[in-house]
Each structure stands twice: as C-alpha cells, then as structure tokens.
Amino acid sequence: MRGLAARHAAAVAVTAFAVLPIVFVVSAALDPIGTLNSATLVPRGAGFGNAVKLFTTTPFWTWYRNSLVVSGLTAALSVAVSALAAYAFSRFRFAGRRAGLVSLLVIQAFPQFLAIVPLYVIFSAISDNWPEFGLDSVWGVVLLYIGGQVGVNTWLIKGFFDSIPKELDDAMLIDGCSHTQAFRRVVLPLAAPVLAISGLLVFIATINEFLIASVFLTGDDARTLAVGLFGLLADQRNANFGMFAVGTLLTAIPTVAVFQFLQRYIVHGLTAGAVKG
C-alpha cells in the first residue's frame, strides 16, 4: 500500500510540473487584466474579455484557418511523398541506394531558415511565373515545408517498412500484382502507425514554425497562427498577454484533436518499428 501511495505522490508531482504552466496560461486567458507579469495561477476574475478582444481586433480565425490548411496539407502531402520514397528505399535494390539514403540525411541537416535569402530568390521567381505557388501563397509554403521535412520522414518511415516482413509483399508480387499494388494494399495499411506518427510530428512542427512563415506569408489573409500570435507579444508597444493566452489555448485544440484521432496508432507506431526482432 505504501508503494502505491509513493507512486501517486510521484505521479502528482510530475503531473503538476506538466500542468502548472498550462494552468497559468488558462488563468491569464480568463484574467481581465491581461498583463504577463501580474498574471497569477488563479485569475482575479473570469471573463471572456480577452477572447472577445482577440476575435474582434485581430483576424484570428483567418490565422487559424491558414494554420490548419498549411499544417494539414504539409502533414498529408509530406507523409505521402515520404512513404513513396521510403518504399523504394526499403523494397528496391538499385545502384545509388545507399548513397541516396546517406545524402538524404546529409542534405536534410541544413536548417532551411538559414537560407532565407536563397529561398526568397526562388520564391520571387515562382511568383513572377506562377503566382499561385509564390509569395503569400499557402501552396508555396507547403511545398517549402515538405521539402524541408521529407528527408527525415523518409528515414522514419523506411525504418518501419523494413520491419514489415518482405515475404508479405513478395507474396503479392508472386501473385502477379505490381509493386504499386503491393505497396498500396499490403505495406501501407500495415504501416498506418508510422504514417500517423510522422504525420503528427510534421503537423506539430509546421503549426509551430514562424521564421519562414513570417517572411513568406506576410499578406493580411496569408498569415498563420504562429506569426500572428508572435506578433501580439513581439509588438513592444501593445503587448497583450491575455489575448496571446487565449490564442495559445485555441491553437492547442487542433493538435489535441489530431493527437486524439491518431492516438490508437501512435503508441504502437512509436515502438513497433524499434522493438521488432
């Protein structure tokens, strides 16, 4: 019994560590005096003043929609593209395969945001020719993010593909299916966990990204949550912590939703690839 009590004590401590900062944000969101340093764990009054102010003085829902579109598209497309490449690396044997895998890793080590100037050159050329994919367009930034994450995802997914017995898709091939069919009907369904987890990781990374977004998505209608919320605090003159806190909590909702939706795959997806054998 004493063991259990100790366990509860430890669990409470860890939970407190995890939750206290969030409680602080919740309190600040409700607190009518929305200043950062006077905020307390228990709000001095509860109201939706900050929320109302956020919705009326900023294009918050536009930011929200943009973030969802950018993060959702990036996650879905990046997983799709990476899964294709991972399949080739996992199931084909071809000249340059090893070099390809290593160079994926090496190329990916360069942080995109250090190359803002070259990227701007690319995007201004795209804007000249195909404005749909250029500056201030969601599609352009989505492609950019995919390019920045496809290498890591390919590695992650390839590792999982390797753990799916090759005999399964061999059997399909033997039966006269094409590689494409083997991929679609055997490998992909079995790899659902890792696809879910890499999708979630990309989603979270994208919704948090603000350095690139703040340069390439400047238009009134194009900004994302990260850029918009950061602006609320960064503006020295009009910093409003209360509004920022409301926005932060609302930003967590899609992540939690995606997380809940993918949860049944996730724990399995994180471990299955590694624990095999």
Partner 1 sequence: MRRSFVALTACLTLTACGGGTAGGETSGDASPAGQAASSATLTIWADQMRSATLKPFAEAFAKENGIKAEVVVVAQNQQQTFVTASQAGKGPDVLVGAHDWIGNLVQNGLIEPIQMTEDRLSGYVDVARKAVTYDGQVYGVPYAVENLALYRNTDLAPEAPKTFDDLVATGRELKEQGKVKEIVGYPVSQQNGQSGDTYHLYPLYTSGGGHLFGTKPNGDPDPADLGVGTPASVAAFEKIAALGEKGAGALKRSFTSDNSAAMFAEGKTAFLVSGPWRLADVRTAGVKYDVTPVPPFKGGGPARSFVGVQAFFVASKGRNKALAQEFVTNTLASDEVAKALFDAEPRMPALRTALEYAAAKDPDVAKFEAAAKDGVPLPAIPQMVAVWQPFNALIHSVVKGDPVEPAVKAAGKAIAEQLGQAG
Partner 2 sequence: MTVTHGSGLRPGRHGSPSGSGGAASGGGGARSGAGRSRTTGPGSTAATLGRVLALGLIVGVALWAAAPLVSAGNRLGVGIVAVVTAAALYVYLSPRRLPAKYLLPTTLLLLAFQVFPVLYTMSLALTNVGDGHLGTKQEAIAAIEASSVRREAGSAEYRLTVAEQGGALVFLLADPARRRAYAGTADGLREIGGATFGPGGRVTAADGYTVLTPAQAAARGEEIGSLSVPVDGGAIRAQGLTRAYEGRATLAYDADCDCVKGGNRVWRADDEHGRFTAPDGGALPQGWKVGVGWANLTAAVTNPKINTHFLGVFAWNLFYAVAVVGLTAALGVAAALVLHHPRMRGVRIYRTLIVLPYAMPAFAMLLVWRDMFNTDFGLVNRLLGLDVDWLGTPLTARASVLLVQLWLGFPYMFLVATGALQTIPAEYLEAAQVDGASAWQRFRTITLPLLLLALAPLLVSSFAFNFNNFNGVFLVTAGGPFPSDNPTVGATDLLITYTFRLAFGQQGAQYGLASAISIYVYLIVAVISVAGFRRTRAFKEVR
- Least distance from C-beta 123 to partner 2, angstroms? 10
**What is d(CA 192, CA 187) in angstroms, rounded to the nearest whole number?**
9
52 binds partner 2 (CB under 8 A): no
Residue among 42, 44, 57, 113 that touches partner 2 (CB under 8 A):
113
Residue among 51, 75, 144, 187 that touches partner 2 (CB under 8 A):
144
220 binds partner 2 (CB under 8 A): no
68 binds partner 2 (CB under 8 A): no
Q: Is the CA virtual torsion 204, 233, 229, 20 positive or negative?
A: positive
CA separation, residue 264 to residues 87, 222, 260, 270, 274 (Å): 23, 34, 8, 11, 17
Contacts of 50 (CB under 8 A, 6+ apart): 29, 30, 31, 32, 34, 240, 242, 243, 245, 246
Residue among 54, 87, 199, 202 that touches partner 2 (CB under 8 A):
87
Tell me which residues touch partner 1 (CB under 8 A).
33, 35-38, 58, 77, 80-81, 84, 116-117, 120-122, 124-130, 133, 135, 143, 147, 180, 214-215, 218-220, 223, 227-228, 230-231, 233-239, 241
127 binds partner 2 (CB under 8 A): no
**179 or 268: whose CB is closer to partner 1?**
179
**What is d(CA 263, CA 93) in angstroms, rounded to the nearest whole number?**
34
Taking CB under 8 A as the binding criterion, the range among 49-57, 58-66, 222-230 that sits at the site for partner 2 is: 222-230
**What is d(CA 49, CA 245) in angstroms, rounded to the nearest whole number?**
12
- Least distance from C-beta 20 to partner 1, angstroms? 20
- The answer to whether 73 and 140 have CB atoms below 8 angstroms apart is no
